[in-house]
Amino acid sequence: MNTISAVSLHKCSGFRLAILLLLCCLSCTRVLKADLETIAGQWNTHMDARDYESALDVYASAALRYPDDRELQEQYIRSADVLKDLGDKEYGKGEFGQAERIYRALLDAYRGLERLAVKPSFTRADLQERLTLARIRSAEVAAKEYFSRGDYRKGLDIYKNAYRKFGKTPHFLKTYAGVVEEAKQSADQALAREDFVRSGRICRALLSNFSSFAPFVKTLSFTRQSLMTHISRCSSSLTGKGLELYRQGRISEAIAVWESILVFDDNPDIRRTIGTASEQLKKLQR
């Protein structure tokens, strides 16, 4: 009797244990479904803060904990697609820095996305292409910002540095060549309105960077020699203007004009002229 009771109790305990395990699994599943809203809320919080990496990590971590939950995977993929669309919108608005951050975050997370049963609407190649375009446009915007301040040397330096990353990209080379042509046009326009300093400075920046134009130099509308001629013309015009002021007895103004030449043409003759005029001005001021 005792033996039968023990066996029955053992079977009963085993049955109860199986039931408990089943309930536990069902409970875990229900908790996960309930947690989907919490996960979505965490995603939204990170998205509002523009913390795209953390937003993706929320779903990536959950997907690792529940690798067989299709609903979770679908929600993860939908969120990734939403983020990709946001990147495209930011790019379309000219917010290339934000677009770059989004594409970079998605690329970093792509290995995990590839493992899911549900696939995203975009490929790794799509992201890499968009990331490259965003970086190219970011460089273009930064360069033009320097151009607008009249600092063509720094603007062209941005492209020279970017060439190390994107030099083999046809789109980048086309953009680079276009910016260089635009700079030369600005120099020509400045020369036409007799802004010799600005015109000379732009051409000096182009001449200093000319070796960097090798991949597209044959497509340019100007040559190294034409830049040197342009600089010489600007220097000669300002030299003549200074001499005219000097003859009028306006020596300090003449010196200022000659000093402006040194910004783009470090000419020894001009330095000597400035030195001579400065000594004469000192004598007159005694």
pLDDT digits (tens, 9 = 90+) for 170-192: 888 998 999 999 999 999 999 99
**Model pLDDT, residue 30:** 39
- Statement: residue 90 has pLDDT above 70: yes
Between 68 and 254, the more confident residue is 254
Question: Terminal CA-to-CA distance of the chain, rounded, Å?
Answer: 132
What confidence score (pLDDT) does residue 85 get?
97
216-227 pLDDT tens trace: 999 999 999 999
Per-residue confidence (pLDDT) for residue 16, from 0 to 100: 52
pLDDT at 11: 45
Q: Above pLDDT 70, what percent of the chain?
A: 88
Q: What is the pLDDT of residue 144?
A: 87
- For residue 34, what pLDDT is reported? 57
Amino acid 33: pLDDT: 62
Q: Which of 19-28, 87-96, 110-119, 231-240 has the lowest mean pLDDT?
A: 19-28
The rounded mean pLDDT for the chain is: 88
> What mean pLDDT comes out for the span 204-232?
96
- For 240-277, the pLDDT digits (tens) are 999 999 999 999 999 999 999 999 999 899 999 999 99
pLDDT value for 273: 94
